[in-house]
Amino acid sequence: MGPGPSDVDPRITGALARPTIGHLDPAFIQLMDEIKQLLQFAFQTSNELTLPISAPGSAGMEACFVNLLEAGDKAIICQNGVFGGRMKENVTRAGCEAIMVEDEWGSAVDTAKVAQAIAAHPDAKLLAFVHAETSTGVQSDAYALCQMASAAGMLSIVDTVTGLAGIEVDVDGWGADAVYSGTQKCLSCVPGLSPVTFSQAAVDVIQSRQTPVQSWFLDMNLVMGYWGGGAKRAYHHTAPINALYALHESLTILQEEGLEASWARHARNHEALKAGLETMGLQLVVEAASRLPQLNLVSIPDGVDDAALRTTLLQDYNLEIGAGLGALAGKVWRIGLMGYASNPGNVRLCLAALENTLIGQGLSLAGGKAVAAANAVYASAS
Ligand SMILES: *Cc1c(COP(=O)(O)O)cnc(C)c1O
């Protein structure tokens, strides 16, 4: 129950064990086409250029930046946690200028500040932001931000590594241009793949570049020859065949459950966790309107030994929760309820383990109340 990787559904680990076949085998090409369609479903897009990059979420991030930017371009980057900082690194390493819009860690991206940055830098090529900040458990308004970018004639890049399948992701409805995700958060697949999707406007920019993409491996013009080529597919790199079996299975599970049902499940388990935490006097840090149900930022009460508590959870309960990052280190826990791991059993285990461990550290809590509060939420929801 950390910030990812989440627990992998046994159906998915089962899929991994299927025999490895060739990356141009007709059966594999059929599987690639199905994965593209399933990703279009998950992202809610009809974008033709929708595929999994053969590397983790960070590679999806890099693919978006290096394909859309050319040296000398300007990009507006919103930072309200760890991952906006990595976006900035991608921009400057591509020889471009990053205009930073910074917000407090734990707050959503402030659209008023973004509007000011757009007005001050109308020549920026794109606006990039993190939809679901895993370092803080904050959701930003992807629709508003993408619309602001397109109204200003800029492209948008959206990081929804933690968002996809946990909360609404609506690529076409947002009018987003380049969106990347990861497999090991709410898709509950094995780590190591990054689903991406590019709008037609983004594809036009990629196809009319003056200079080649600095990364040969991530150059979408070349990757398209393998993933997009229809019957004319050519070798670019050896696809991670077994990991793609796993992704196909994970997306099939998502389709069976339904997008709305998956979001509702994440919301319900979050409500039950929150109810239990509150009976122990534990506070959620992020304001209600921008909380992520799949990543809960919990304030550590005074007098509690953070490291000792997390060690006890791991050793005595086989339960991992996330530590705070950056300025939040030692001040918060990050409790993940992602994908397959977002279930009532985990909520109850986490609450009981936290309650017992906090009592063990000397807090005066009445044992058993936290799980009862979660059960009350489940009873009222069913
Ligand atoms: C996990 C994560 C990433 C990076 O993904 P990796 O698979 O670890 O490379 C990027 N952005 C966000 C918001 C994430 O949560």
- Residue 331: CATH number of its domain: 3.90.1150.10
Measured from the CB, is residue 182 less than 6 Å from ligand 1?
yes
Measured from the CB, is residue 56 less than 6 Å from ligand 1?
yes
Nearest CA-CA partner of 195 in 128, 250, 238: 250
Do 233 and 345 reside in the same domain of the chain? no
Q: For residue 281, report the distance from its CA to the centre of ligand 1, in Å.
A: 31
Do 274 and 295 reside in the same domain of the chain? yes
Q: Which of 6, 53, 54, 58 to probe ligand 1 with, by most ligand atoms within 8 A of CB? A: 58
SS3 163: coil
Nearest CA-CA partner of 96 in 119, 120, 66: 66
| Sole residue written with tokens 């693919």 | 63
Do 232 and 280 reside in the same domain of the chain? no
Q: For residue 59, report the distance from its CA to the centre of ligand 1, in Å.
A: 9
The DSSP secondary structure of 272-305, one letter per residue, reads: HHHHHHHHTT--B-S-GGGBBTTEEEEEPPTT--
Do 248 and 277 reside in the same domain of the chain? no
> Can you list the positions of beta strands (E) in the chain?
49-53, 74-79, 97-102, 126-130, 132-133, 138-139, 155-159, 178-180, 194-198, 295-299, 322-323, 332-336
286 within domain boundaries: yes
27 within domain boundaries: yes
Do 144 and 277 reside in the same domain of the chain? no
Measured from the CB, is residue 203 less than 6 Å from ligand 1?
no
The ligand 1 atom nearest the CA atom of 182: 7
Do 230 and 289 reside in the same domain of the chain? no
User: What is the domain extent for residue 289?
Assistant: 259-381
Do 215 and 278 reside in the same domain of the chain? no
User: pLDDT truncated to tens, each residue of the chain (382 aa)?
Assistant: 999 999 999 999 999 999 999 999 999 999 999 999 999 999 999 999 999 999 999 999 999 999 999 999 999 999 999 999 999 999 999 999 999 999 999 999 999 999 999 999 999 999 999 999 999 999 999 999 999 999 999 999 999 999 999 999 999 999 999 999 999 999 999 999 999 999 999 999 999 999 999 999 999 999 998 988 666 788 999 999 999 999 999 999 999 999 999 999 999 999 999 999 999 999 999 999 999 999 999 999 999 999 999 999 999 999 999 999 988 999 999 999 999 999 999 999 999 999 999 999 999 998 899 999 999 999 997 6
Q: For residue 333, report the distance from its CA to the centre of ligand 1, in Å.
A: 18
Measured from the CB, is residue 58 less than 6 Å from ligand 1?
yes
The count of structural domains within the chain is 2
3 within domain boundaries: no
- Cα 98 to Cα 203, 214, 241, 278: the distances in Å are 22, 18, 36, 40
Do 268 and 215 reside in the same domain of the chain? no
Q: For residue 92, report the distance from its CA to the centre of ligand 1, in Å.
A: 19
Q: For residue 161, report the distance from its CA to the centre of ligand 1, in Å.
A: 6
- Reading the block at residue 357, the tokens are 């461990």
HSE, side-chain direction, 13 A CA sphere, residue 68: 31
Do 112 and 152 reside in the same domain of the chain? yes
Torsion angle in degrees (nearest 10) through CA of 109, 112, 116, 121: 40
The ligand 1 atom nearest the CA atom of 83: 11
Do 143 and 196 reside in the same domain of the chain? yes
Task: Give the CA radius of gyration of the chain.
Answer: 21
The ligand 1 atom nearest the CA atom of 162: 15
Q: Closest Cα to atom 14, ligand 1: which residue?
A: 161
Q: Closest Cα to atom 12, ligand 1: which residue?
A: 161
Measured from the CB, is residue 85 less than 6 Å from ligand 1?
no
